[in-house]
């Protein structure tokens, strides 16, 4: 079940459009969990929807987002990365099968789950059809359609 929630989290992280930044609407359970996990977070902005809460903030000079269930359970941390930060064999596989200018990269993110495991996701669109494609890339460079 947690894997399904985390998969949904990943998709939503690529295109999250929830409510405005209002800390007063965030439960104390989530706030306590967040500040326990990220006590040196700066410039925190909050968003919520019916499934979970997202905190976007600066951590050690990088902009990241943390996701929590309403019971305060930490789901994962996301951050945007450059394509060249992916495992090298994944870059080769990606560029071989999805070359520019036929495909346009929208976003590349690293997702760290509650166990510290990192996976990467690339979202891009096919230029002719505008179809959005999301690929999951494992730490060892495996590339899978998501």
What residue ranges do the domains of the chain occupy?
2-75, 83-145
Q: Write the pLDDT tens digit of every residue in 83-124.
A: 889 988 888 888 888 887 888 888 899 999 888 899 999 998
More reliable by pLDDT, 107 or 16: 107
Cα 126 to its chain centre, rounded Å, is: 21
Q: Which residue has the tokens 């071989």?
A: 96
Q: How many CA atoms lie within 13 A of 115 on its CB side?
A: 5
> What's the pTM value of the predicted model, to 2 decimals?
0.77
Write out pLDDT tens, residues 17-56. Answer: 444 466 677 999 999 999 999 999 999 999 988 888 999 9
pLDDT score, position 2 = 52
Taking every pair of Cα atoms in the chain, the longest distance, rounded to a whole number of angstroms, is: 48
User: What integer is the mean pLDDT of 60-77?
Assistant: 93
Does residue 16 surpass a pLDDT of 70?
A: no
Query: Do 126 and 103 form a contact (C-beta atoms < 8 A)?
Result: yes
Q: How confident is the model at residue 13 (pLDDT cuts 50, 70, 90)?
A: low
Is the per-residue pLDDT at 11 higher than 90?
no
Under 8 Å between Cβ of 135 and 111: no
**How does DSSP classify residue 51?**
S
Three-state DSSP at 92 gives: helix
Token pair, residue 139, equals 């730490």
- Candidates 3.30.365.10, 3.10.450.360, 3.90.1300.10, 3.40.50.1370; correct CATH number of 2-75? 3.10.450.360
């Amino acid at each position: 079940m947690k894997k399904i929630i985390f998969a949904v989290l990943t998709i939503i992280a690529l295109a999250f459009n929830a409510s405005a930044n209002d800390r007063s609407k965030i439960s104390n359970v989530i706030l306590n969990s967040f500040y326990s996990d990220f006590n040196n977070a700066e410039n925190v902005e909050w968003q919520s929807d019916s499934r979970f809460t997202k905190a976007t903030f600066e951590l050690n000079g990088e902009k990241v987002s943390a996701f929590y269930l309403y019971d305060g359970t930490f789901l994962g941390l996301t951050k945007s990365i450059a394509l060249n930060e992916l495992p090298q064999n994944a870059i080769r596989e990606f560029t071989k099968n999805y070359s520019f200018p036929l495909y346009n990269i929208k976003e590349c993110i690293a997702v760290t789950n509650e166990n510290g495991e990192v996976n990467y996701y690339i979202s891009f669109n096919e230029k002719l059809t505008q179809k959005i494609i999301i690929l999951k890339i494992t730490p060892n460079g495996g590339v899978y359609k998501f």
